Amino acid sequence: MRHHLFIIYLTFLCTITINGQNSNHLKNSTSPYLLAHKNNPVDWYPWGNEALEKAKKENKLIVISIGYSACHWCHVMEKESFSSEEVAQEMNANFVSIKVDREERQDIDNIYMEACRLLSEDCGWPLNIIALPDGKPIYATTYQNKNNWIKILKFASKNYQLNPNGFENQGALIQNELAKQSSPNGEIASATSKNVVSIGIKQWLEDFDPINGGYKGTEKFPLPQSFNSLLDYYYYAKDSNVLNKVTLTLNAMMNGGIYDHLEGGFSRYSTDPEWRFPHFEKMLYDNAQLVHLYSKAYQITKDERYKKVVYQTIDFLLSHMTTEEGLFISSLNADSEEEEGTYYTWTYDELQKVLGADFTNFNKVFAVTKNGNWNDGKNTLYLEKDVGGIDEKRLQESLEKLRTYRSERKSPTRDEKVLTDWNALTISALVKAYRVFNEKEWLRVAIQTTELLQKRVYGTNSLKHSYLNGKATIDGFLNDYSFLAAAYLDLYEATFNIKWIDATQKLIHLYTLNFERDPSQLSYFKPKTTEALFAKKIFLRDEVVPSGNAVMCTNYYRLGIYLDRADYKEVYKNMLTPTSNDFTKNHRFYASWLKPILWHITPPYQVAITGDQSITTRTLLDNQFLPNVILTGSTADENLPILKGKLSPGHTVIYVCKDGYCKLPTSNVDVALNQISN
């Protein structure tokens, strides 16, 4: 009998081990990233009061591990360390362990990443924080192998017992340092002269890699907002050096392995200075912003290669990154079949087999080698810099063969989360591409996505940040409100439909209800409704997406022009005042502030188009790159202050206005363009 009971007991223990630890608290999470850790022997908690109170009650240090589904090194650390019984024993005995999806909880990621920058030069994802029981960070690192991670854990737990006051002092020091940075201040005059801005741009360009484009460094990130802003500056300054730096970068990216030459779309970053060898995760925010950037560059240069990139990348987004109902998912994983890049890379023999007689022509363009140009005998596809004598038709046929062959491979997994801010960036990108290339289908998709997003993420008096499996969760952050408001205004300029102005006003009202702001009207990132973190900070710099405060500042200016609202224009000026010095000192890290600064120096024209052919006329204006124009229009109604008295039945008329004064109205687009340029 005892033997029988012992066998049952062993079976029970094995069931727990095989089927996943019931003590792990991630099983009810919505995040695909958290769910990937639900069977770890580490006793993970999601971020919340349960874990934080446990740490305080038991006086334990906290491990806060932050990552995301598409992150290669996050997966490596999950397999090496967090699936290890040895690591789990140390973490479970001496720490309270919290897993965070950085895409869901951007507020937690932002503040702990700021702390990491104070504590270490080794910041990235996975971001691993060791914090005091009250959440104050005392150590930060990124990926560590199993042995190093165990050493870090043992050192931290032992020394916390020996010297808790030293740890407390370290945590207080970090908290105080972040508090110093929480309220920016400055004088608007310092950055609002052409001379001061031009000096800042000159310093900005010193960071450029003159050979490969992008910024100097061993790794290269696309950072589209940076180059978008430089194109705006080029328009005002007519500085060919600025344009050349941007196009050098765009050419290098679209020729490199960071760009998917078969299906379109860009990976998150390259591991080398020449953009050849990416980490293969594909993020929605990168690809949306790059569609916008290449569309803008095409407007300026008319380079057909940029047009091709836009079309291919939008095709990729629509075919690979949408839900069944039509919203956009967050990302595609870097890994498939348990390895990074398996879906995207090729052996030399494999390419020869698929392409046959076309291989020689193909290999004149793509630098593949027998030993592999990447890892483990594999090749990534990137273009050689100087290619001549290529049969273009045969090359396209070769690419189609490879696409067909690759489609039979196991695809990378998708993170199905729908994020409000990233969907808003994608809507704006589709609108921009529609206006540049007049592809009406892209406008239709943008409107459809917006209307569906409104149904899914609006609460009673707020936005939600994340939508998955029929459920909207997490109160919206600053970027959700800022980017969606910008998307509404972009839709207005594309359609002249006043409902998008109305939607913006309602959203701005919700924003004012939900966010704490400083005397300059700059907003904290997280809404008032969410729990307090160890520190609060106003974020001004761009990260992988534009600064939410900079975008909101621009939104207020645009709304102030559309509605002739002095109060909105005043908010814009107030927000700009304390940020100008940050731009002049740190330039490229504050790139999204350049547009509102330029508009302060040289206010944009307000161009009103009225009449039956107002949309057609707008299409003709869109052949030109005009960052100094805020556009309004109507076919039948004088529904905005700037349109009052300007509708002439039976005629389509363009009014170019500034500071309440309009130049002579015209029906000729070339005349209007001349008025704008002068």
Domain contains 305: no
Q: Does the predicted TM-score (pTM) go above 0.85?
A: yes
Overall domain count for the chain: 3
The answer as to whether 98 is a domain residue is yes
Neighbours of 176 (CB within 10 A): 10
Average pLDDT score over residue span 453-480? 96
Which pLDDT does position 648 carry in this prediction?
Answer: 84
- What's the pLDDT tens digit per position in 666-677? 999 999 999 998
Give residue 133's domain range: 2-180
Cα→Cα distances 85→24, 39, 45, 149, Å: 13, 12, 17, 13
Q: What is the pLDDT of residues 608-643, one digit of tens each?
A: 999 999 999 999 999 999 999 999 999 888 889 999
Residue 96 lies in a domain: yes
Find, among 293, 297, 279, 272, the residue nearest to 226 by Cα: 293
Report, in angstroms and rounded to the nearest whole number, the Rg of the chain calculated over CA atoms: 27
pLDDT of residue 659: 85
Residue 201 lies in a domain: no
Can you give the pLDDT at residue 228? Answer: 97
Q: What is the mean pLDDT of the chain?
A: 92
Q: Is a pLDDT exceeding 70 seen at residue 391?
A: yes
Task: Record the tokens describing residue 204, joined without a space.
Answer: 């900005």
Please identify, among 155, 180, 205, the residue that sits at the C-terminal boundary of a domain: 180
Size (the chain), residues: 678
Look-up of token digits 């939104």:
555
φ, ψ dihedrals at 593, nearest 5°: -80, -10
Q: What is the mean pLDDT of residues 39-56?
A: 96
Residue 187 lies in a domain: no
Domain-ending residue, one of 408, 427, 460: 408
**What's the pLDDT tens digit per position in 291-301?**
999 999 999 99
Q: Which of 115, 146, 180 is the last residue of a domain?
A: 180
pLDDT at 139 exceeding the cut of 50? yes
Cα separation, 613 vs 497, whole angstroms: 14
Cα torsion 539, 540, 543, 545: sign:
positive
Residue 97 within a domain:
yes
CATH assignment of the domain containing 112: 3.40.30.10
In whole angstroms, give the CA distance from residue 480 to residue 511. 10
Mean pLDDT of 36-58: 96
